[in-house]
Amino acid sequence: MNENRTEQMICIAAIAGAFGVKGEVKIKSFTEIPADCFSYGPFMNLSGNIILTPTKSRPVKKFFAAYCKEVKSREQAESLKSTKLYVPRSALPTPDEDEFYYSDLIGLAVELDDGTQRGYVKAIQNFGAGDLLEIRTPGEKDWFHPFTRIAVPVVDISGGKVVIEVIEADD
């Protein structure tokens, strides 16, 4: 990688271990269409150095088994378990309107519709029932807010904020 390059790296997959006995790597994709993770070029580390170049891949249950030119044995594949795999932001397609990369949301200010500041987006989580903004409010415990169009009517990445709608529960 070029030393002066400061491009944002996006985590799109992780190594889940070895698959088989011939040095295949088991890869868990984080892309919307799982197989797409192989279409953005070689996998890199967070510093932008190439660590895996898949030459062949195939789906296996919730993962992919992949041969990579850098991995020659099962032991080598197993030693890479839990390694996060990144690509440069420029390798990814531009999101459609009303679509966002999680990395674009992290750090945005969180406001109520009346302009009251509520903190900032710490992370995006999904525990199985949909995406949640994890919000950090100074002096308070981190909290979660649904990431839906109704609950978050405004996402203004260029303005550096999201506006949330607090929905009160009926008594």
| Domains of the chain, earliest start first | 9-91 (2.40.30.60), 102-164 (2.30.30.240)
pLDDT at 6 over 70: no
State the Cα–Cα distance between residues 102 and 38, nearest whole angstrom. 19
Whole-angstrom CA distances from 62 to 24, 44, 69, 166 are 15, 22, 23, 35
Contacts of 51 (CB under 8 A, 6+ apart): 42, 43, 44, 45, 70, 80, 83, 85
pLDDT at 2: 37
pLDDT tens sequence across 110-162: 999 899 999 999 999 988 888 999 999 999 999 999 999 999 999 999 899 99
Q: In angstroms, how far is CA 142 from the centroid of its own chain?
A: 20
pLDDT at 105 over 80: yes
Q: Shortest CA distance to 14 belongs to which of 104, 70, 99, 86?
A: 86
Instruction: For residue 59, give the DSSP letter.
Output: E
Are 162 and 154 within 8 A, CB to CB?
yes
pLDDT at 171: 56
In this prediction the pTM is 0.73
pLDDT at 170: 61
